[in-house]
Amino acid sequence: MSADVAGYSRLMGADEDGTIATLRDCRERIIDPMLDRHGGRVANTAGDSLLVEFASALDAVSCAREMQREIADSNADIPADRRLEFRIGINVGDVVIQGDDLLGDGVNVAARLQSTAEPGDICISASVYDQIVGKLAVKLIDLGELKLKNIERPIRAYALVEAREDHPDGGQTPSLPADDKPPFDINRFKRLSIIVMPFKDLGDAANTSLAEGLRLSLHSVLIKLPGFFLLHTGVVEKYRGQTYSAAAVGSEIDVRYVVSGAVQCARERVRVIVELTDSVAQEVVWGETYDRVLNDIFDLQDEIAREIVDALDIKLRSGEAGRIRFEMALDPAAREYVYRGISHLYRGDRENTLQARRLFEKVEQIEPDIAVCAGMIALTYWRESRFGWSDDPQASLGMAANYAQRAVDLGDPEGMGHTIMGYVQLQRRQHDEAMASSIEALSRRPSCPLANGLLAEMMRYCGNPAQSILRMQEAMKLARNFPPWMIDNLAASLRDNNQVKASISTSSEARRLFPDNVEVLTTLCCDYSLSSMSKEADAVARQILAVDPTFSIARYAQNQPYKDQDVLDRIVESLRSAGLPE
């Protein structure tokens, strides 16, 4: 068993004495007693790492599971960026004994599997799997055959994911496809699925932004809570202004619970009607009518969220109940700008994104210390930089970084600051920091497609494509109407995980959906080249140059922030073989 602290250098840089003390306490209080209980012999230690020998694979896995559970419990009240989390790899193989140390291929495989695991998780080889299957009640995700650094042969590996509360997926991550079919199945959700429909405005058109703002603010509260699967707001656009039944919505978009509502304003008072419908049972499980003064509207959205959580019997851990709060401006004019800004932001196009920024900037002029506004402004600049809407993408990225940092400094209760900061840090090749920010973002926004998608992107660039595939599948299920960058990242992760046939299928589907997207075309070109399909690669290369005559391999590579240069070199060589210009 090889164990290592994730992000140890970052933790040491932030607080060397505290990190050493925490690690020592973890060893003495949790790890060493656990090893004694399961007969583990420590063969080697080096700072934050451990190499342990066991009499059987069953002992090793049982010990690792108990270690991870107890360490996770001890981390419950510690901020995410200060937690001591271990990655663990387990292998069965021949070793060479040299004094008290263990050497050999079996040890090397365990160490490489450890680097593949997510923080807090365990990665095992097929040889371990064969000895524990049917003997332990564990959830295993087939990662396929992995190409591990300095290991000549591919290693079949499995991720052991505990169904514990603090895991982002609650242990319900879908299994990775074992064959080469494109992973496009949107399986029925194992968590409670829910969607917030457009609220009807029962007053005049001038109050439409209040109805829409209330709905989206409610969505922003629910997106921060674990325990259910919240579908992205873009899914409901086709129902806007239409007459629909909750049962029809549930059937069409495969969602269990539907939140619907209506808003009516009269002078300084507002009436809000909300219903929660079980689309399968076709019955209203909760409904309420609220009559309030207009200034209480932002407290009302939090109250509605609590009622929904109670109605669905969702159990929140200590500290999570405090997330049922959407930060809102106190000034009535600023509050109106927030609602209107959110409404424009969720429409997603360039013009509405710019309009949203203008409105959030007005809020900052009135109340400058609203973290949600800083986070949303950061998101607008991120979109400009990412989607080519800016004449100076680097300047837009810099503005995104400034506002993201401001949101973080203000506490970032909505998590958007951490979401955008992770992307900025990745572009700056600060891989450990990017991963930490993205994990923190997901802990604050577990049902957010963007937070899930950007974490998947981090995983791919940081050398963990197998986990990236699973995370991106989650993001795409949340988004449903997913953007091209998500499907392209899924294809690229499949390619980097040596599932090139599946990547070709995925990239081909992406090209059908987005025929002029250069990123999508480049991934497909790379796939064909890696598969020695030279005619197909040449055809796609010509299509790339037709869409973007200025395309160059050097510029493309510059925008691929891989931690492992060998992975990028492989991609560059494949594009060169396809005849694309240097």
| pLDDT tens-place string over residues 392-445 | 989 999 999 999 999 999 998 888 999 999 999 999 999 999 999 999 998 888
Residue 325 main-chain phi, psi, to 5 deg: -160, 120
Domain residue limits at 18: 2-160
Lowest mean pLDDT among 52-61, 106-115, 258-267, 330-339: 330-339
CA distance 303 to 320: 15
Q: What is the pLDDT of residue 549?
A: 94
318-332: b (≥16 Cβ within 10 Å) or e: eebeebbbbbbbeee
Q: Is residue 177 part of a domain?
A: no
Residues 275 and 422 in one domain: no
The 10s digit of each residue's pLDDT in 222-243 is 776 554 566 766 667 777 777 7
The structural domain count of the chain equals 4
- Cβ proximity of 468 and 456 under 8 Å: yes
Tell me which residue of 354, 395, 432 sits closest to 13, measured CA to CA: 432
Amino acid at 64: A
- The neighbour count for residue 78, using CB atoms within 10 Å, is 11
**107 close to 95: Cβ distance less than 8 angstroms:** yes
**Beta-sheet strand order (sheet of 2-5):** 41-46, 49-53, 2-5, 86-90, 122-125, 155-160, 140-146
Q: Are residues 56 and 155 in the same domain?
A: yes
Higher pLDDT: 41 or 223? It is: 41
- Both 319 and 338 in a single domain? no
Give residue 9's identity as a one-letter amino acid code: S
Report the distance separating Cα 48 and Cα 23, nearest Å.
Answer: 8
**Residue 109 is assigned to a structural domain of this protein:** yes
- Tokens for 270, please give them: 């507002």
Backbone φ and ψ for 196, nearest 5 degrees, come out as -105, 115
CA–CA gap between residue 466 and residue 495 (Å, rounded) = 10
CA distances from 273 to 264, 294, 301, 309, 491 (A): 9, 14, 12, 17, 43
Query: Would you tell me how many other CB atoms lie within 10 Å of the CB of residue 314?
Result: 16
pLDDT of residue 190: 38
Query: By three-state DSSP, how is residue 514 classified?
Result: coil
Q: What tokens does 503 get? A: 């990547």
| Tokens, residue 248 | 């029809």
Q: Is the pTM of this model over 0.95?
A: no
CATH number of the domain enclosing 497: 1.25.40.10
Q: Which helix (H) or strand (E) holds 304?
A: helix 297-311
Interval 326-345: pLDDT, tens? 445 457 677 778 777 877 88
The two tokens of residue 6 are 């994730």
With respect to residue 173, please indicate whether it lies within any of the assigned structural domains.
no
156 within a domain of the structure (yes/no): yes
Instruction: Choose among 389, 322, 321: nearest CA to 353.
Output: 389
Is the domain of 142 the same as that of 47?
Answer: yes
Mean pLDDT of 93-100: 70
Instruction: Tell me, yes or no, whether 412 and 346 share the same domain.
Output: yes
The domain that holds 24 is classified in CATH as 3.30.70.1230
Are residues 363 and 509 located together in one domain of the fold? no
216 φ, ψ (degrees, to nearest 5): -70, -30
Distance CA 303, CA 456 (A): 33
Assign residue 157 a region (left: φ > 0; alpha: ψ between -120 and 50; beta: otherwise).
beta
CA angle 437, 440, 445 (to 5 degrees): 120
Query: For residue 183, what pLDDT band results from cuts at 50, 70 and 90?
Result: very low
* Alpha helices in 480-552, H assignment, sequence order: 484-496, 500-513, 518-530, 534-547
Instruction: Give dist(CA 89, CA 70) in Å, integer.
Output: 17
pLDDT at 448: 83
Q: What is the mean pLDDT of the chain?
A: 80
| Residue 295 and residue 208 in one domain | yes
Q: Does residue 366 sit in the same domain as residue 242? A: no
- Structural tokens at position 16: 């060397």
What is the percentage of the chain residues whose pLDDT exceeds 90? Answer: 29
**122-179, pLDDT tens digit by residue?**
999 888 888 887 777 677 776 777 767 777 778 888 888 653 333 333 333 333 333 3
Distant-in-sequence, close-in-space partners of 311: CB < 8 Å, separation ≥ 6: 276, 285, 286
Verify that 285 and 207 share a domain, yes or no. Answer: yes
- Mean pLDDT of the region 524-553: 94
Main-chain dihedrals φ then ψ at residue 143, nearest 5 degrees: -90, 0
Check residue 155 and give its pLDDT. 82
CA distances from residue 170 to 45, 173, 227, 405, 443 in whole angstroms, order as listed: 32, 8, 8, 29, 12
Rounded to 5 degrees, what angle do the CA atoms 563, 564, 565 make? Answer: 110
Are residues 431 and 536 both part of a single domain?
A: no
Q: Rounded CA gap, 400 and 403, in Å?
A: 5
Same structural domain for residues 42 and 147? yes
Residue 270 lies in a domain: yes
**94 with 205, same domain?**
no
498: burial class by Cβ within 10 Å (0-12, 13-18, 19+)? middle
DSSP for 91-134?
A: -----EEETTEEESHHHHHHHHHHHHSPTT-EEEEHHHHHHHTT
Residue that has been written with the tokens 């325990």 in this structure: 227
